[in-house]
């Protein structure tokens, strides 16, 4: 089956949405502790922290943090990568490797955090991020199964993902501001 011109345009739109998502992902994972107005302040901002024992940090959170903070950490790490699992196969027609790429992106983010002391590198984050990519990919497969016409699916998903990304940024910004007074999340 040949790709129509409209499908190619929608494919490019999905690639742009994916690029915007990746930029937002970098913002929330790597540059959460410094305003982008002083980009370099994010590097070597904290001491190097890491955890390579699966679920150790999560169990420590269960004992030490409030339930809201625990849910925020677990759900946040999962939700952050759900769009990855949906967007990657839509934007680049990469299906079989989507979960591997999601895991690799998470591992890379944790390595960067460790190397540049930009946050705590944690295997739990990799596990939860990968779970998010899996959930996103399953959602993609379900949508792909339900909507057989690729052009129609790309149109619907472009609208939904654009609105979702905008809403997600607004929600994350205001939730962070209300909970912690995040003046550092200002774009």
Say if residues 145 and 94 touch (Cβ distance below 8 Å). no
Mean per-residue pLDDT, 24-33: 78
98: left (phi over 0), alpha (psi -120 to 50) or beta: alpha
Tell me which residue of 127, 111, 134, 138 sits closest to 50, measured CA to CA: 111
Q: Judge residue 114's burial from the number of C-beta atoms within 10 Å of its C-beta, 0-12 exposed, 13-18 middle, 19 or more buried.
A: middle
Tens digits of per-residue pLDDT, 73-92?
888 899 999 999 999 999 99
Asked if the model's pLDDT at residue 175 lies above 70, the reply is no
Q: Is the full-model pTM beyond 0.75?
A: yes
Asked if the model's pLDDT at residue 185 lies above 60, the reply is no
Residue scoring higher pLDDT (47 or 163): 163
Tens digits of per-residue pLDDT, 104-146?
999 999 998 888 777 788 888 999 999 999 999 999 999 999 9
43: number of Cβ within 10 Å: 14
């Amino acid at each position: 089956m040949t790709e129509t011109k409209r499908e190619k345009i929608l494919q490019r739109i999905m690639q742009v949405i994916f690029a915007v998502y990746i930029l937002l992902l970098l913002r929330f994972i790597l540059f959460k502790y410094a305003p982008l107005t002083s980009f370099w302040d994010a590097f070597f901002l904290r001491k190097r922290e890491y955890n390579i024992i699966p679920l150790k940090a999560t169990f420590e959170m269960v004992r030490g943090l409030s339930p809201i903070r625990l849910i925020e950490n677990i759900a946040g790490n999962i939700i952050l990568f759900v769009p990855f699992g949906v967007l990657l196969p839509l934007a680049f027609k990469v299906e079989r490797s989507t979960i591997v790429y999601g895991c690799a992106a998470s591992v890379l983010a944790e390595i960067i955090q460790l190397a540049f002391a930009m946050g705590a590198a944690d295997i739990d984050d990799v596990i939860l991020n990968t779970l998010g990519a899996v959930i996103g990919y399953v959602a993609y497969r379900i949508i792909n199964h339900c909507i057989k016409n690729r052009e129609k699916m790309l149109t619907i998903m472009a609208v939904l993902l654009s609105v979702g990304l905008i809403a997600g940024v607004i929600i994350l910004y205001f939730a962070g501001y209300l909970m912690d007074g995040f003046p550092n999340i200002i774009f």
